[in-house]
Structure 1
Amino acid sequence: MSAVPSAGLAESINATLADLLDQDPRLLLLGEDIGRLGGVFRVTRGLRERFGADRVRDSLLAESTIVGQAVGMALSGLVPVCEIQFDGFTYPAVNQLVTQAARLGARWNGRVSPSLVVRIPTGGGFRGVEHHSESNEALFARFPGISVACPSTGEDADQILRYAVTLGSPVVMYEPIRLYFRRSSPVRDTEPPRSPTAARVVRRGRDLTIATFGAVTHEVLEAAHGLSPDVDVEVVDLRWVAPLDMETVLDSVARTGRLLVVHEGVKDVGIGAEIAASVAEYGFDALRGPVRRLAPGRRAYPPANFERDYLIDVQEIKDEVLVMTK
């Protein structure tokens, strides 16, 4: 099935941020080089010129201060949307996110509900080096008080951002770098999600469910279309990994009887492990075979010339599905 034209992720996020800035005077952007330069991937291009340096703020080269400032801004009633240049640069801000931002609501017994969004470019496939191609979403997904999203389309990025700035608690949104400027995507069903944090069934099928999220959703859909009609694969785009919409996953597994989880982050102690455990716990009777996970092994992201050997590709997904359905 052929690809369909679509707006790139960067263009969609830029338009959404512009609209949010226009609608809410409390909202501001904060990050390294996001103002004059427009961000390392130009996602915020033109926003400083339109809304001014007070609302599109270039920060110091220190991720801890970006999120630290944002925590104070959120407590004062502002709605900061931060940008971290790459997910491998997020670690200096873990303290501010986990020990401060995630606990603010509970610390004041629910009397404060500060909204704070942290945008993080993520993933490989663009010949980046280490610290530029990581997928560390599982790190923040395990901490109570932090919501974590990873859209695979500009439409979902728009919906996630609009919901995130109203949530009243911190949201980390991972943005797949290799989708920033991609102008086409495999055909997908347009059925809307049940709720702002629900997963989306992007392809209906009867033989096997694949749960996935982020950039690799495109490879999963391509593989699913390529296997049809011999194997009819249902694809669930999780969109959010914290909270996980297990209801949609379990409903899908009840229809197909099989589950494969595909993600770009390391397999060990990852999102796939949590999904597999939940399905084993709550959907075991529906399974016709063991749940399987397809993800990179536990090793650092390799140099650019070897990233194809690290990332999950369409053929690997097809091979795994065929093994599970033979």
Structure 2
Amino acid sequence: MSETLETTYRDALRDAIREAMRADDRVFLMGEDVGDYGGCFAVSLGLLEEFGPERVRDTPLSESAFVGADIGAAIGGMRPIVEIMTVNFSLLALDQIMNNAASLLHMSGGQFNVPLVIRMTTGAGRQLAAQHSHSLEGWYAHIPGLRVVTPATLEDARGMLATALRDPDPVLMFEHGSLYPMKGTLATDAGAVDIDHAAVRRPGTDVSLITYGGSLGKALAAAALLDQDGVSADVIDLRTLRPLDDTAIVESVRRTHHAVIVDEGWRSGGISAEISARIMEEALYDLDAPVERVCTAEVPLPYAKHLEEAALPQPPGIAAAALRTLG
């Protein structure tokens, strides 16, 4: 039986990076403020001192330039880990991510893989206002050629990176900013985890709460509220948004016959719409009521705390949606 230690989400990520860099000389970290400053969210704190400036590289404020450089390094045989400070800044590198990283294997006739991992902070709830509160992982899940993962637990924060680095194709890792200080216990021998399958975080029989990333905790809190009304919620952590684990989604819906999708992204054209469509396509006759969706209000995220909270999915609203679908 393995021992456990107290840790945080950010420390689990740092341990994953450190382990990868110790195990493989080809792995290096690159991004804004990842070196001397230790990362905007302190994930890379101490790595420069351990591995030196050749393998922990601070970059200029040009996402397009350093993501492009890392794509070139990946094609050349290296295993880059790129840190983009927040997801909104990734839009400055969207051309590199979509037209190069995601497309080169296809456009080279299978000659050039791009084994690249891009980490970025996503999500709202920290009063960072409209420009730094986006949840755009659903946008990236739209792009063929990418894998999109969303670690919501300490185990996934610790283990997804190792699996991603073994992938011959680009992997985007979306870390919800509210999770970095999350505390818990982790096995001392925790390592690589599966990134192909969703996970049942709480089994239930009456309604499926389907979510990922920073919304998992809210879905679990909503399940606890539903318990008080005698409702048993099956909480599904998608973990990977591209490719979606259709089997896990459909199996849950077939158990409960009711579904609520919780997504911090906007409702229109978002990942929640895609999941809802797949449920309709694959499990329509297993449903006893229409699928409910709980998403962020369709506004630029407010700075004021009470307005931001009102705009985001919250446990009482998730529980209310579940009760609506149960009639």
- TM-score category of the 2 structures, normalised to the smaller one: over 0.9
Tell me which residue corresponds to 2:265. Answer: 265
- Retained in 2: the 8 A contact 1:137–1:148? yes
What is the match of residue 143 of structure 1?
Answer: 143
Give the corresponding residue for 1:197: 196
**Identity, % of aligned positions:** 34
Aligned position for 1:190: none
Quote how far apart the aligned CAs of 1:104 are: 1.5
Larger displacement relative to structure 2 (29-38 or 157-166):
157-166
Contact 1:87 1:131 in 2 (8 A): no
Counterparts of 1:259 and 1:322, CA distance in 2 = 11
Q: Residue 226 in 1 paired to residue 225 in 2?
A: yes
Supply the AA of the counterpart residue of 2:67. V
CA drift of 1:318 comes to: 1.3
Distance in structure 1 (CA, Å) of the matches to 2:66 and 2:125: 27
Would the aligned equivalents of 1:9 and 1:181 in 2 still touch at CA under 8 Å? yes
In structure 1, what is the equivalent of residue 118 of structure 2? 118
For the residues of structure 2 that align with 1:217 and 1:321, how far apart are their CA atoms? 15
C-alpha deviations, 1:9-36, integer Å up to 9, x for none?
1111000000000001000000000000
RMSD: 1.7
Pairwise CA distance, 1:232: 0.2
Contact 2:266 / 2:295 at 8 angstroms: preserved in 1?
Answer: yes
Alpha-carbon distance between aligned partners in 1 of 2:115 and 2:31, rounded to the nearest angstrom: 17
Matches within 5 A, 1:169-208: 169-183=169-183, 195-208=194-207
1:1-326 correspondence runs (5 A): 7-183=7-183, 195-228=194-227, 230-305=230-305, 306-326=307-327
Q: Distance in 1 between matches of 2:159 and 2:150?
A: 11
Unpaired runs of 5+ in structure 2?
186-192
Contact 2:195 2:239 in 1 (8 A): no
Q: Which runs of 5+ in 1 are unaligned?
A: 186-193
Structure 1 residues 152 and 36 mapped into 2: Cα distance closer, same or farther (>3 Å)?
same
Contact 2:225 2:316 survives alignment (8 Å):
no
Find the aligned partners of 1:322 and 1:140 in 2 and give their Cα distance: 32
1:303 partner SS:
coil
Number of aligned residue pairs: 315
- Residue 190 of structure 2 corresponds to which residue in structure 1? none
Distance 1:214 1:131 in 2: 20
Preserved CA contact (<8 Å) 2:141 2:242: yes
Structure 1 CA distance for aligned equivalents of residues 61 and 200 of structure 2: 40
Partner of 2:181: helix, strand, or coil?
coil
Where 1:145 maps in the other structure, the secondary structure is coil
Tell me how far apart the structure 2 counterparts of residues 129 and 295 of structure 1 sit (CA, whole Å).
Answer: 17
Q: For the residues of structure 1 that align with 2:151 and 2:236, how far apart are their CA atoms?
A: 12
Contact 1:198-1:240 within 8 A present in 2 as well: yes
2:29–2:56 contact (8 Å) kept in structure 1: yes
Calculate the TM-score normalised by the size of structure 2.
0.93
1:153-207: CA deviations, max 9, x gaps? 121122221111111111111001001002259xxxxxxxx94321001110000
Using the TM superposition, name which of 200-209 and 107-116 deviates more. 107-116
Q: Find runs of 4+ consecutive structure 1 residues off by over 4 angstroms.
A: none
Cα distance in 2, alignment partners of residues 218 and 66 from structure 1: 33
> Is 2:86–2:121's contact at 8 Å kept on the other side of the alignment?
yes
Q: Tell me by how many angstroms 1:297 deviates.
A: 2.7
What are the superposed Cα offsets for residues 130-175 of structure 1, whole Å, 9 maximum, x if unpaired? 2221101111110100111111112112222111111111111100
The residue that corresponds to 1:191 in the other structure is none
Quick check: 1:118–1:173 contact (8 Å CA) kept in 2?
Answer: yes
On the 8 A contact 2:149/2:195 being kept in 1, the answer is no
CA offsets, 1:276-300, max 9 Å, x none? 0011011101101101111013221
Letter in 1 for 2:123: G
1:211-253 Cα offsets, whole Å, 9 max, x none, are 1001111011011022216000000000011111011000110
| Cα distance between partner residues in 2 of 1:196 and 1:299 | 32
Whether the 8 Å CA contact 1:159–1:196 is kept in 2: the answer is no
